[in-house]
Structure 1
Amino acid sequence: MSHSPVPPVSQGTTQLPPLTPGPYKRRLGLVALVATLGGLLFGYDTSVINGAGGFMTEDLGLSEIGLGVAVSSLLFASAVGALTGGRVSDAIGRRTTILVMAVLFIVGVLLVVTAPGLALVVTGRIVLGLAVGAASVVVPVFLAELAPYEIRGSLAGRNEFMIVLGQLLAIVMNAIIGNVWGEQFPGIWRVMFLLAAIPAVLLLIGMVRMPESPRWLVDKGRQQEALEILDRLRPAGRAEPELEDIALARHAESQRTSMGVAGILRNKNLVKIVLIGCGLGFFQQTTGINAIQYYGERVLEVAGFGRGGALIASIAPATISVVAAVVALQMMDRFSRRKTFLWGYGLVALFHVLIGTTASVMPEGTAKPFVLLALITAFVGSMQLCLNVATWVTLSEIFPQKMRAFGMGVSVFVLWMTNSILGLFFPSIIAGLGLSSTFFVFAVLNVVAFLFVLRWVPETRGRTLEQLEEDVTTGEIYLPKLKQDS
């Protein structure tokens, strides 16, 4: 069968040549690999406390609330980092901001591993939290702004893969170190934290040679630099028309009302997209995923495992996270974002009901711990497959350029504040309600999330950032719903 020539891809105002194989893909892959070391650190530094926390509690003599403070201090600081990181990156550039983050990661690790008591642990965790929060905002935006729109979902989604890889590394290293040396060395938790310095140093060295976001450069009037970067990261003949599209969109945006907070509040469509972003951030956390990431060892002990067994069993949900993230990356550019969200919240709610039911009706002394481990692993897998990557990719692309830092920052601030509150109070919640009731509450919240997506969340797949910018500002993105779900 003969095939007609592949038509050029429409970018909205110009006709772009299609993506073809070439060395630019290798260069894009290298940029993504280096930048997403920030995601790896995000994952490692948030999950290392799951496993290290028990040893830290014994070594430093922490109370239950002391452990909660050690866990949540990073999370509350991450909320601040998320809120400010976007603004900082608007001022000094995405690349420079990531370099600053790398320094913060190194300083935070050194403070924690040398801490004689809780106060310095909390100080180091706050420094790490500022870096983690900034990374959660800046790295996805950096990747989305560098990527060709046809592969934007899979490229930007690599950050979420690196986050779960960092979580898996933390869990595996905790299990190895804790089971081999934990009994002999009560301060072994310091080694668990110290390992995070390695990717932090690699991030610092690697980002020195990485390019800046061409969209940020255009926004600062540095078109020639943007063109040189696009030439290296696009197939032949595509850089100039894509730069023209970006420049035209920036020019049109500059003619509109200011995109400060007052300007955003004057446009109901922009207010709506910020509220949608905040909703996505909130509901991503009320799945309960990070309760497992931070307190998985505690949950599995409540389920019936011993301490060493719980450390090892925690590897199962962390492993399925990585596998599911790989599949999710392949899905991002092929399936509706909205349908992915709907499947995700539906599956998570179902597994929460099954976990709660098993915990309440299955008798002790049976295979109950292993059944609960299987259900928790399935919950984590469905969350990672359908929700984590989709949430971060969608947040990185739905906001217009002039308010992207604000929209992303506020949405991720809500995400981190929800995360922080759950991180602080989850030990008390599970102690007060029990395993069963805790997961029933999560199930109800995920049903609400399903209805929220069904009613409010628009489709973003298949649109360039410039098209999304126009459609969000005018409200076109919300209509028609049937077309979005196609």
Structure 2
Amino acid sequence: MPNPPNQLGGDSPSIFPLVSKKREIVLFSSTAIALYGYDQGMMSLINTNYSYLKTMGIAEESPIVGIIVSVYYLGCAAGAVVASWLADREGRKPSIFTCLATTALGNILMFVSGLSGLSAEASSSWNGHAIITMLLGRIVMGLGVGGIDAVIPVYSSELSSDKARGRALAQEFQMNIFGLLVAYAINLGITIAWGKENQWAWRVPIIVMQAFPILLMLVISRLPETPRWFFSKNRKDDAKDALEDIHGKETAASKFAELEKAQEEESNAKVGYKDMLIPGGSHSHPSMVTVMGQINQALTGYGAVSVYGPQIFELLGFNTRPAEYLTLGNYISYFLTMTIAWLTIDVIGRRRLMIWGSAGLSASFLLLTIFGGLATVSRIPDLAVEIPGTVILFIATTIFGITWLPTVWLIPTEIYPSTARAQGAAISVIVWGFANFTVTLLTPIGFNQLKYWLFLVFAVTNGFAGWWTKRYSPESGGRSFEDNQGFFESAAKEGSWVVSKVDGGRFKRMERKAVEQPEEEEGIRSPLLGRREN
């Protein structure tokens, strides 16, 4: 088992003298989540590189372009299952380490596919096997990144306070957008410098990604395993050491008692995928909330916007290079405005943000449909369409980042007991993988067949996402993991999944307590980022 967590004692120092252990955990988790965003930004311009298309032996408008992008998500789905099993069996940290190594291997396979030395021309010596190597690399990297996306939210949430889980995960997903931004900026800069005929214009952005998993594998041994996992394996001494490593001895004692009580309540509640996925199973209800959360996020259309950003701007009438610059600007805005997400998610709540987000995105895509249509009318000045269309697309991206990006990843980590949390996160990634596989596969076809009417499709699907969330998705923020089980228990007793009818509608919004404990207040302001050194 790599980097055994039980080697960490209560006096383990931080990697950096001025950085607390809590901050290290956030930085590590955030950097790991950035891998997901980096791939999206990386592929958005690789798809239009002429050397890449020639090396793979495909045409620019071939559906195979979408297949190469989308098989990655199938790998993610499979990786989530394997990683969640390993996370429960060996620990969160060993699972993450294995996923990082797998990601690095897949990245190397992508880099070498069709490699032809220092020449800018594709080598014929691969005899058509370049595309097979690329597809294999995409799948293998998907296995690693999918596993990371399944385990990191669990790892982070199990180390966060009840009042700060949302902010911690939102900060991590801001780094996801940072990864997307960095990948796209590198890709765009190299493409401008070397041109779309140069093979290194698409290979260099791929290999740069190696810095993420290598760095993370080097530092993971310094981080603690989650105390909840230790309790699930009856390793109470290790759980105590981990709590002291994170919180200090004084706070660790009270948290140890809380976790011990929670574990006693869950000790006889072993849960498997059968209980979670078969209708009528003991945990089928939270699984349906998880499944529909990811499906609805895919229906917002922003998987397509992230991967095919330049093509989206071209539908508004922009030429290729201005569309690429505007995509970069949109990603910069996306990253900066994600700050609002971690300032609001533990105040407004997950459910309300998603409902408001769907309404805003529906309106935005409806307006984009109108402007996309106007872009085809020759009598209308180009700027009359391009300027307002760009503003709306920037606003829509901001809305998605604040409302839908972190929430659906957070909810599965909050609504399952410890014995099912890793499997719940895996289900989330599996559905995300298949949903985004479908969206990224069909989007190029939508561009070619529907043109700007594709925006109208997304306007309708966002309306459905908002309706379903309002009716069936409970508010899980601000409550303990154990408290959130109360919603599903009440729903079973009352025979209804409609949030407004369960327990008098108590789970329609976050609970507000008159008096907060000092530690909880600190957690709200600064989850895992406290200034106090541990």
What code does the residue aligned with 1:485 have? Answer: R
Residue 337 to residue 235, structure 1, CA distance change in 2 (3 Å): farther
Query: Given the alignment of the two structures, is residue 402 of structure 1 paired with residue 414 of structure 2, yes or no?
Result: no
**CA-CA distance at 1:413 after TM superposition:** 1.1
Q: d(CA) in 1 for partners of 2:53 and 2:315?
A: 18
Instruction: Give the distance between the partners of 1:254 and 1:154, measured in 2 at CA.
Output: 29
Taking a change above 3 Å as real, the CA distance of residues 428 and 262 of structure 1, as seen in their structure-2 partners, is closer
Give the partner amino acid of 1:141.
V
SS in 2 for 1:458: coil
**Paired position in structure 1 for 2:521:** none
Tell me which amino acid in the other structure corresponds to 1:190.
R
| Aligned-partner residue type, residue 436 of structure 2 | N
More off after superposition, 304-313 vs 331-340: 304-313
Residue 39 (1) aligns with residue 33 (2): yes
CA distance in 2, matches of 1:417, 1:392: 15
- Give the aligned partner of residue 217 of structure 2: 204
For 1:241-267, what per-residue CA distance to the aligned partner results, in whole angstroms no more than 9, with x for missing partners?
2222212222211234x4124444586
Mapped partners of 1:305, 1:202: distance in 2: 39
Secondary structure of 2:382's match? coil
Partner residue of 2:272? 260
Aligned to 2:435: 418
Shift of 1:482: 5.0
- Rounded to whole Å, the distance in 2 between the matches of 1:324 and 1:254 is 42
Whole-angstrom CA distance in 2 between matches of 1:373 and 1:174 = 22
Shift of 1:82: 2.3
Task: Give distance in 1, aligned partners of 2:482 and 2:314.
Answer: 50
Aligned residues of 2:274 and 2:281 also touching (Cα < 8 A): no
* TM-fit CA distance, 1:456: 0.7
In 2 relative to 1, CA 290–177 (structure 1 residues): closer, same or farther, beyond 3 Å? same
The answer as to whether partners of 2:100 and 2:148 remain within 8 angstroms in 1 is: no
Residue 206 of structure 1 and its aligned partner are, at CA, apart by 1.4
Of residues 468, 474, 477, the one that matches 1:458 is 474
**TM-superposition CA deviations, 1:323-367 (whole Å, max 9, x none):** 222110111222222211111111111101111111113435511
Q: Which amino acid aligns with 2:348?
A: F
Quote the residue 1:480 is aligned against: 504
Q: Aligned to 1:445, which of 458, 461, 478?
A: 461
**Mean CA deviation greater in 316-325 or 91-100:** 316-325
- Count of matched residue positions in the alignment of Structure 1 and Structure 2: 462
Q: What's the counterpart of residue 389 of structure 2?
A: 372
Residue matched to 1:111: 109
Aligned positions of 1:288-327 closer than 5 A: 288-327=301-340
What is the match of residue 69 of structure 1?
67
> Contact between 1:81 and 1:133, CA under 8 Å: does it hold in 2?
yes
User: Aligned letter for 1:51?
Assistant: L
Contact 1:349–1:443 (Cα < 8 Å) also in 2: yes
| Alpha-carbon separation, structure 2, partners of 1:162 and 1:300 | 24
Letter in 1 for 2:439: L
CA root-mean-square deviation: 2.1
Query: For the structure 1 residues 50 and 240, does the alpha-carbon distance in structure 2 shift closer, same or farther, using more than 3 Å as the test?
Result: same
Letter in 2 for 1:459: E
Letter aligned with residue 43 of structure 1:
G
Which structure dedicates a bigger proportion of its chain to helix? 1
Task: Report if aligned partners of 1:339, 1:485 keep a CA contact under 8 Å in 2.
Answer: yes
Q: 1:472 to 1:237 in 2, by over 3 A?
A: farther
Specify whether residues 371 and 236 from structure 1 end up closer, same or farther in structure 2 by C-alpha distance, changes over 3 A only: same
2:283 aligns to what SS in structure 1? helix
**For residues 148 and 340 of structure 1, what CA distance do their matches in structure 2 show?**
21
Q: Answer yes or no: is the 8 Å Cα contact 2:487–2:503 preserved in 1.
A: no
Deviation for aligned residue 1:94: 0.8
Helix, strand or coil at the partner of 2:67: helix
- 2:342 counterpart of 1:346: no
Match of 1:7 in 2: none
2: CA distance between counterparts of 1:441 and 1:356?
Answer: 9
Q: CA deviation at 1:143?
A: 0.1
What is the rounded CA distance, in whole Å, between the counterparts of 2:287 and 2:398 in structure 1? 28
The superposition leaves residues 22-69 of structure 1 with CA deviations (integer Å, 9 ceiling, x where unpaired) of x99821111121122211111102321001111122443323122112
Contact 1:269 1:475 in 2 (8 A): no
| 8 Å Cα contact 1:171-1:311 kept in structure 2 | no
Aligned equivalents of 1:269, 1:333: Cα separation in 2: 28
Inter-partner Cα distance in structure 2 for 1:36 and 1:454: 29
Q: CA deviation at 1:419?
A: 0.4
Per-residue deviation, 1:471: 4.6
Q: Deviations over 1:414-450 (max 9, x none)?
A: 1211100111121111211112x11111111111111
Q: Which moved more, 1:476-485 or 1:24-33?
A: 476-485
Aligned to 1:234: 247
Structure 1 unaligned segments of length 5 or more: list them.
Answer: 1-22
Q: Which residue of 2 aligns with 1:9?
A: none
Judge conservation of contact 2:285–2:488 (CA < 8 Å) in 1: no
Long gaps (5+) in structure 2:
1-16, 115-129, 493-498, 511-534
- What TM-score results when the alignment is normalised by the length of structure 2? 0.82
